[in-house]
Amino acid sequence: MSADHDQSPGAGRLGPRLVAVVLLALGLLIFVQTFSIRQGGGYSAIGPRFFPLLVAIGLLLLSGLFLARTTIRPDEDLMQQSADEEAATHWPTVGLVALALVVYAVALGPLGYILATVLFFPVVARFLGSTRPVRDIIIALVISVVIYEGFTRALGVRLPAGLLQGIV
């Protein structure tokens, strides 16, 4: 091993294992919640539970295999890459982006998709090092309007309009 790869024996092992455990928990949550989906009236070869159940089972299987792979016979290259990435990660930026995402989720209802996204995008771009706020706001506005219109008109999925109710 070269000097730049000298790590403690457990370095890089915790991250992949935590990801596997979180994915397992998510799969279990999806699996359990799938059974709270009401079956529709009428006859259908497959009901509304089929695809969520398929996703849950697939996620449980794959995350279980990943956990086994990171625990029973760990991939040393993956562990080294994980340790290198962890050392290079700027955790305050990750925390700020996560906080902005939580604020964005809370703001979606009252502000609506377009306004919340127009505020969220430039803030996160700034956290990630952008120095061009006007460009970021223009891009956020164009993207949010296109996505809003695409979902509501083309797909029939209403995103929250918020303060722009009656305008969009």
Q: pLDDT tens-digit profile of 87-144?
A: 888 889 999 999 999 999 999 999 999 999 999 999 999 999 999 999 999 999 999 9
**Where residue 83 falls among pLDDT bands split at 50, 70, 90?**
confident
Q: Is the pLDDT of residue 3 over 70?
A: no
On whether both 119 and 55 belong to a single domain, the answer is no
Q: What is the pLDDT of residues 58-69, one digit of tens each?
A: 999 999 999 988
On whether both 36 and 74 belong to a single domain, the answer is yes
Position with higher pLDDT, 82 vs 160: 160
Specify the pLDDT at position 16: 82
On whether both 67 and 117 belong to a single domain, the answer is no
pTM across the whole model: 0.61
Q: Is the pLDDT of residue 5 over 60?
A: no
In a domain, 2, yes or no: no
Specify the pLDDT at position 122: 97
Structural domains of the chain, count: 2
Stretch 51-74: mean pLDDT: 91
Q: Is the pLDDT of residue 4 over 50?
A: no
In a domain, 1, yes or no: no
Specify the pLDDT at position 84: 85
Question: What is the residue-averaged pLDDT of the chain?
Answer: 87
* Contacts (Cβ under 8 Å, ≥6 apart) of 49: 34, 35, 37, 39
Which residue range forms the structural domain that includes residue 28? 11-88
On whether both 115 and 149 belong to a single domain, the answer is yes
Specify the pLDDT at position 2: 41
In a domain, 3, yes or no: no
On whether both 154 and 110 belong to a single domain, the answer is yes
On whether both 78 and 96 belong to a single domain, the answer is no
On whether both 79 and 98 belong to a single domain, the answer is no
CA dihedral 22, 24, 25, 30 (to 10 degrees): 120
On whether both 77 and 119 belong to a single domain, the answer is no
On whether both 157 and 115 belong to a single domain, the answer is yes
> 3 burial class (0-12, 13-18, 19+ CB within 10 angstroms)?
exposed
On whether both 46 and 96 belong to a single domain, the answer is no
Specify the pLDDT at position 72: 86
The last residue of one of the domains, among 88, 107, 132, is 88
On whether both 79 and 96 belong to a single domain, the answer is no
What percent of the chain shows pLDDT beyond 90?
A: 53
The last residue of one of the domains, among 54, 88, 122, is 88
